Structure 1
Amino acid sequence: MSDINHQTYHTRLEQIQRIAQHHSLQITTITPIAYQELGPCPYNNFIYKLELSQPPSSTSFHTPNDAPNPYTTSPPDGTTTTYILRMSNPLAMGINPHASRIENEIAAMSLARQGLESHRPGLGSLIPKIYTFCSKPTHPDDLPWTLMEYKSGVPLDEFFPPQSETAKKSIIEQVADILAGLRKCPLPSGITYGGLGLSSTDGRIISAQMTTTNGGPWSTYAELLKARLRHELHDADSSPIINGWRSNGIRDRLDSLIDKFSLPGLSDPNTRVLIHGDLTMNNILIDPTTCKLTALIDFDFACIAHPAHEFLVSLQDLGSNVMGPFGEDPTEGRLAQALLSGDFSNDNVPDELWWVGKTFNACLTERGVALPSSIGGMGVLCRWRGLEQCVCPLHLAAEFIVKRMSEEARKGRERGLRGRLWRGWRGWKGSCSWVLVD
């Protein structure tokens, strides 16, 4: 365990006091959310619940002379005394240091609110309101931050498991409404693939670098996917075990593969939608009394991509990630096969994840959401995602894991992963992608 997150704890508290002073906030309690002093790796964000002794004044966040900001709002009733403060951690693993994570999240939340509201009036309230933010602090020790609405509720992943099947189906239907709403987000003119930002001249939402992938924006989805693999190779360069795959000619083949990669069979290849990027139960809050969802949070990984992308990077615990769930797959790959084929007729899969995925799939179908089984080229996307996951897996790249491994274990892991890469090579057939085989 390490105190890497706690080393700057008091520095962050000092920043919170400066924020409070600047906005005339009378803070009585600062409570870290989902925080432990010791942990194996850096947090993506530092999150605090702020409780005030009295509501902020009408000019605390916006003076009468301020130009209206379309992405922020004032607290609604003059009685709100609880807020959430999010700070971006620059030491987060796998993050593009050149992306404006605060602007990306604010822009994504604004679009998501509109999309959810258009799908079902009132649904947009699941997206927390933004009261004020700072994407480029001037103080040398300060982190970019956002002050937003506090949403009550408990994480869905904690609440969901013990519920009845009837309650679970109702919850899954509500989550399906969220994904359907995200598909209806109105994208501003000129938005391409990648991240989002705010124009420095007029504040409008624009395309920008992606938070989880170096570079961008890109004109095609294929270019985004190529950049993601390059990002993984860049991370692999710093691994003492993988060493960037520079031995035995593997790196040369990977570089050549990236140069040649294309997606000729992809359905609606120019389609662009808002992708949450981390749409799991942990980022959804629910009222345990009413069983109604109360919030969709954490748009840090949000981006603009093809609709297939959410099924590659999110939805693991909702049984809808075509690469399988987190960790060991209790369905032994049968759920992934069903997602790709659309055939859930197998009644001999007793694990609950199968039922969750089957139910969620049916709910998405009812709402007209494009599913993996209806997206042409999904097989190629799965193989590319498998390659991406294989190039720089956490257990061979993260220092806190590698340093605990013996030299023999390191070599064994590297040989095993190298074997997967070589066995998976099937060459090129026209514009076909690389095939990964376990």
Structure 2
Amino acid sequence: MNHNHANYQARLDFVGALLRDKLLLKEEADIVPVQYDPESPFKYNNFVYRVTLGSPVLSSHASSRITPQSTCVPIPDGAKQLIVRLANQETEGMSMANRVENEVAIISLAAAALDGFQPHVVPRVYGWGSAAPKSAQGWIVQELMPGSPLAEVLGEMDLDQKRKTFAQMAALLKGLQSYKLPETITGFGGVTFDDAGRIVGAPMPTVGAGPWPSYEAHFRSRLEASLKKAQDNQYIKGWQPNRLRERLDKFISDGVPAQFHALSSKGDRVITHGDFNASNLLFDPVSGRITGLIDFDFAAILHPSYEFLRSFDGAGGQFRGWYMDEESDEAALRDAKLNGFPSPLPATKADGPVQWEDAKAWEEALEEVGAKRPRTLQGIDAVADVDTVLQGILPWRVTNSDVLKLQTHDTIMQCRDEKEEHLDKLLRRLGF
């Protein structure tokens, strides 16, 4: 049986018990998985359920409330539907120590940062349970936001519609960038709640380490941890063959500080969603409005450049490090984001990797609201090269257990060799 589907009924039973025991809702409720494929070969990060209650929550049912917690609000009168998110304990690379706490705390910060958007776009949290205790099921009960995933309609929009949508996305990003963080958050990384309910620095769940005193320290820690994991991979073998490991060690000790030297405002810390893409934006095609920014599972407090390294698929793409093919469209787009888009724009190729008009429209939307972006983040190109090394050390297709099952040995080794070639040439370019 598929690993996602193995405990399907047990999860439904858990949600049902959650409704009865925590919300004290005794009536039957319709519990339906959201975007769930029982045959998916990849492990889900979370199992998400839409809950339709037998009758709306009423103020007279005062017991129909989850015990108050930090940053949570009561379920409002008249609520008929909810979202329940269950953290998948089997997700690779995610630390459970403060996984739920980090998401709930970041949602609270994002809601405050985007308070000026009406109607609100960040879902309200009604209650949550930690995944930290051994074998505990982490959960979040939150507001069901209106709309459908933007990813379902973005590709069909004309350029004018995309411009209007990008303008809203840029305004959301600007709001996250401009928010003044609580003084209790002093480092880079994840967050959690202290005993007084204040939001404080904590390990970054996607890494299982942190918080760090600097953005540079965050990358150095991740590079070192990745090399340790690479040591146990049967295909990579710690990158010891061909003496690549020695050069990687040298880059971490000597190269990383040099790469961060040119980064402007390296002390800036902002809310980073970490997966700010069309699949996590909800949209109402009738009003043309973005109605929700959801799924803060990968969110953290990091430098504003980090969002561009991880987000914006469908809106100009992520900002990448050096490309081996310096004549490629991807390399040309990277240069355009740093130095300005050419006029006229290059032609968009059928099924090509770059949608030039979309990318320029996204850049103009960012500029219009004054959002920090690659062109204004001096030194982001050097940081992106560090990130390229980081992602090259543990390539997904050579390390993820689900992906490995779908590939032949020859395919895996081909990918491994391609990554080694890229790492080798990038390190040479950087002087290592």
Q: TM-score if structure 2 supplies the norm length?
A: 0.89
* Match of residue 244 from structure 1: 238
Question: Does the Cα contact within 8 Å between 1:267 and 1:376 map onto a contact in 2?
Answer: yes
Q: How many Å apart are 1:320 and its aligned residue?
A: 4.5
Pick closer, same or farther for the CA change 1:424–1:160 going to 2, 3 Å. closer
Are residues 1:18 and 2:17 paired?
yes
Q: How many Å apart are 1:428 and its aligned residue?
A: 6.3
Matches for 1:249-264 after TM superposition, within 5 Å: 249-260=243-254, 261-262=256-257, 263-264=260-261
Pick closer, same or farther for the CA change 1:14–1:141 going to 2, 3 Å. farther
Q: Across the two proteins, how many residue pairs are aligned to each other? A: 415
Q: How many Å apart are 1:221 and its aligned residue?
A: 0.3
3-state SS, counterpart of residue 83 of structure 2: strand
> Aligned partners of 1:143 and 1:230: how far apart in 2?
30
Q: How many Å apart are 1:233 and its aligned residue?
A: 2.7
* Match of residue 312 from structure 2: 315
Q: Which moved more, 1:13-22 or 1:275-284?
A: 13-22
Question: Does the Cα contact within 8 Å between 2:270 and 2:301 map onto a contact in 1?
Answer: yes
* Match of residue 378 from structure 2: 376
3-state SS, counterpart of residue 128 of structure 2: strand
Are residues 1:79 and 2:86 paired?
no
Question: Does the Cα contact within 8 Å between 1:320 and 1:360 map onto a contact in 2?
Answer: no
- Superposed CA RMSD in Å reads 2.4
Q: Which moved more, 1:401-410 or 1:256-265?
A: 401-410
Question: For residues 167-216 of structure 1, what are the alpha-carbon distances to aligned partners after superposition, in whole Å with 9 as ceiling and x for unaligned?
Answer: 221111111111011112221114210001111x1111000000212310
Question: Does the Cα contact within 8 Å between 1:183 and 1:274 map onto a contact in 2?
Answer: yes
Pick closer, same or farther for the CA change 1:155–1:249 going to 2, 3 Å. same
Q: How many Å apart are 1:231 and its aligned residue?
A: 3.8
Which runs of 5 or more structure 1 residues have no equivalent in the other structure? none
* Match of residue 220 from structure 2: 226
State the percentage of identical aligned residues: 29
* Match of residue 112 from structure 1: 110
Q: 2:302 aligns with which of 305, 311, 318?
A: 305
Question: Does the Cα contact within 8 Å between 1:27 and 1:51 map onto a contact in 2?
Answer: no
Question: Does the Cα contact within 8 Å between 2:247 and 2:427 map onto a contact in 1?
Answer: no
Pick closer, same or farther for the CA change 1:244–1:90 going to 2, 3 Å. farther
Q: 2:359 aligns with which of 351, 357, 363?
A: 357
* Match of residue 198 from structure 1: 193
> Aligned partners of 2:54 and 2:227: how far apart in 1?
50
Matches for 1:88-127 after TM superposition, within 5 Å: 88-98=87-97, 100-117=98-115, 120-122=116-118, 125-127=120-122
* Match of residue 175 from structure 1: 169
Question: For residues 18-40 of structure 1, what are the alpha-carbon distances to aligned partners after superposition, in whole Å with 9 as ceiling and x for unaligned?
Answer: 21221212342111011111122
Which runs of 5 or more structure 2 residues have no equivalent in the other structure? none
Question: For residues 96-119 of structure 1, what are the alpha-carbon distances to aligned partners after superposition, in whole Å with 9 as ceiling and x for unaligned?
Answer: 344x111111111111111112xx
Q: 1:155 aligns with which of 145, 149, 174?
A: 149
Q: Which moved more, 1:18-27 or 1:262-271?
A: 18-27
Pick closer, same or farther for the CA change 1:372–1:167 going to 2, 3 Å. same
Pick closer, same or farther for the CA change 1:18–1:280 going to 2, 3 Å. same
Q: TM-score if structure 1 supplies the norm length?
A: 0.88
* Match of residue 133 from structure 1: 128
* Match of residue 47 from structure 1: 48
* Match of residue 31 from structure 2: 30
